[in-house]
Structure 1
Amino acid sequence: MSKLIVAVDDSKTIRASLEYTLTKEGYEVVLAKDGQEGVEKLKELKEELKKPAMIITDINMPRMDGIEFIKEAKKMSFFKFTPILVLTTESQDKKKMEGKKAGAAGWLVKPFKQEQLLGVIQKFVK
């Protein structure tokens, strides 16, 4: 059975790239275009009792940014221990601390290399 990864990013190109990279490695992928849609997808997964092995989120998105999305995801007990990787153009320490405080387990700066992304995922996904 393949492991599930939820990817939340407002960039259609990044979503397509993540989907390609992850499905090629055997992961099942659920995509969302912003934090608000990400929360909706998590609620659907909870209904189906499908727990993702990891959540990947951007920071700068419309409607609900990544920091708020992380906070909302961590409020849901079903996803409380799901590792969240931030994948963003943001690299300032202040933003990283904000993400960590919200519950992010890791931080990767765009543009990303496929090997780098998969290496980080493999550290968290057993």
Structure 2
Amino acid sequence: MDQTKVHEYLIKKPLVQVTKPFAQEVDVYKVNHKMFATLAVGNDGETNDDGEVIWWLNLKCDPDEALSLRDIFPAVIPGYHMNKRLWNTVILDGTIPQGEIERMIDNSFSLVVENMPEKDRQAILLHL
């Protein structure tokens, strides 16, 4: 799954806004002003075998699941510039199946929505 498909999947979530509070090259995805993902060019502009830049996706994650995903997938590392206990960085190098990346995005979105006040949570869930 490349950065374009990831971006398209992220913005299809209900009430999502994309901001750039950190830098022009870092997209921050928020639901109701709460961050659930970031998407940016990887560290040092690393490229794949085809010369394409590798992108990094930060996602919120349950702490136990975060550790498990890091054990299963070499392209999942502790959250870059994030709380390493609660965030993972997914290196979009093509080694993780699209369905798994979508599941991780869905979980990140759900974790953030679940911690919102009931009124806000219900407004978002109506769109699912």
TM-score strictly above 0.5: no
Larger strand share, 1 or 2: 2
Structure number with greater Rg is 2
TM-score (norm 1): 0.38
Larger helix share, 1 or 2: 1
